[in-house]
């Protein structure tokens, strides 16, 4: 593959702490991404915000305002992760769908394309820029726009199961599952909006467990054992 997107949840940055940043965890991710980038694969990164805030965290405040906080959390995450990536020798750029002064660049396909072609790791922060959406939808949107060949979803679980393996020890992991099935069986891999966009645009998604050793490198270099 020439260009792929990787989604990290906000919580994946927090390690055991479940909130904020865990530097050793993020440094490990950075080292793995560098191995893939060194092979000439272009990598776009989208990060959630759940280690700080999700729009649904508060039932008191106005949802669009709560979502603004969530989108800002994803930008903080991208700035942090981008800096850790730089510390291990990668060149990076962060795009947002709205202006953030000198902190990020305003997204445009042409500018992002240039960065990919210069060998930079390109971060797409701030989700879609709209409330009521998620970073799952954000990554699908940007991956389609940027003509990526696939989306890698790093999860706390190692693939898609027909039921929750924590509750059902006989749960079966899929090697491959159609988005239609994901929707019909409410498998909740990504939210519905993201699922439908993927289906309509034939964008493949690869779900794998982030916690396994060297998981990103394995998933992106032929040793994928999650769910396509």
Q: Which residues bind ligand UDP (CB under 6 A)?
A: 9-11, 48-50, 54-55, 66-67, 70-71, 73-74, 127-128, 130-131, 133-138
Residue 79 C-beta: closest distance to ligand UDP, Å:
15
Cα separation of 136 and 149, whole Å? 16
The H or E element that residue 76 is part of is helix 63-87
Residue 63 C-beta: closest distance to ligand UDP, Å:
8
Q: Which is nearer to ligand UDP, 92 or 137 (CB)?
A: 137
Residue 2 C-beta: closest distance to ligand UDP, Å:
26
Residue 13 C-beta: closest distance to ligand UDP, Å:
9
Residue 4 C-beta: closest distance to ligand UDP, Å:
18
3-state secondary structure of 80: helix
Cβ proximity of 81 and 21 under 8 Å: no
Cα separation of 84 and 105, whole Å? 19
Q: Which is nearer to ligand UDP, 35 or 105 (CB)?
A: 105
Q: Which is nearer to ligand UDP, 62 or 181 (CB)?
A: 62
Residue 70 C-beta: closest distance to ligand UDP, Å:
2
DSSP secondary structure string for all residues of 85-114: HHHTT--EEEEESS-BTBSSEE--HHHHHH
Q: Which is nearer to ligand UDP, 45 or 66 (CB)?
A: 66
Cα separation of 78 and 46, whole Å? 8
Q: Copy the structure tokens of residue 187.
A: 């498998």
Q: Which is nearer to ligand UDP, 59 or 176 (CB)?
A: 59
Cα separation of 42 and 51, whole Å? 26
Strands 42-47 and 3-8: parallel
User: Which residue from 173, 156, 149 is spatially nearest to 48, judged by alpha carbons?
Assistant: 156
Q: Which is nearer to ligand UDP, 56 or 172 (CB)?
A: 56
């Amino acid at each position: 593959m020439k260009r792929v997107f990787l989604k990290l949840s906000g919580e994946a940055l927090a390690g055991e702490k479940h909130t904020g940043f865990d530097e050793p965890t993020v440094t490990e991710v950075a080292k793995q991404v560098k191995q893939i980038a060194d092979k000439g694969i272009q990598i776009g990164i989208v990060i959630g915000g759940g280690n700080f805030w999700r729009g649904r965290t508060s039932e008191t405040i106005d949802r669009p305002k709560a979502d603004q906080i969530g989108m800002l959390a994803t930008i903080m995450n991208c700035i942090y992760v981008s800096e850790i990536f730089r510390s291990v020798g990668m060149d990076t750029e962060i795009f947002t769908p709205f202006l953030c002064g000198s902190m990020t660049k305003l997204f445009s396909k042409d500018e992002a394309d240039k960065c990919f072609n210069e060998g930079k790791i390109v971060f797409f922060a701030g989700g879609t820029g709209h409330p009521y959406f998620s970073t799952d939808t954000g990554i699908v949107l940007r991956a389609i726009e940027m003509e990526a060949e696939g989306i890698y979803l790093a999860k706390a679980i190692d693939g898609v199961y027909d039921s929750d393996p924590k509750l059902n020890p006989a749960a079966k992991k899929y090697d491959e599952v159609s988005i239609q099935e994901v929707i019909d069986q409410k498998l909740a891999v990504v939210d519905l909006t993201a699922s439908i966009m993927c289906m309509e645009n034939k964008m493949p998604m690869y779900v794998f467990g982030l916690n396994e050793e060297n998981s990103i490198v394995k998933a992106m270099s032929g040793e994928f054992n999650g769910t396509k």
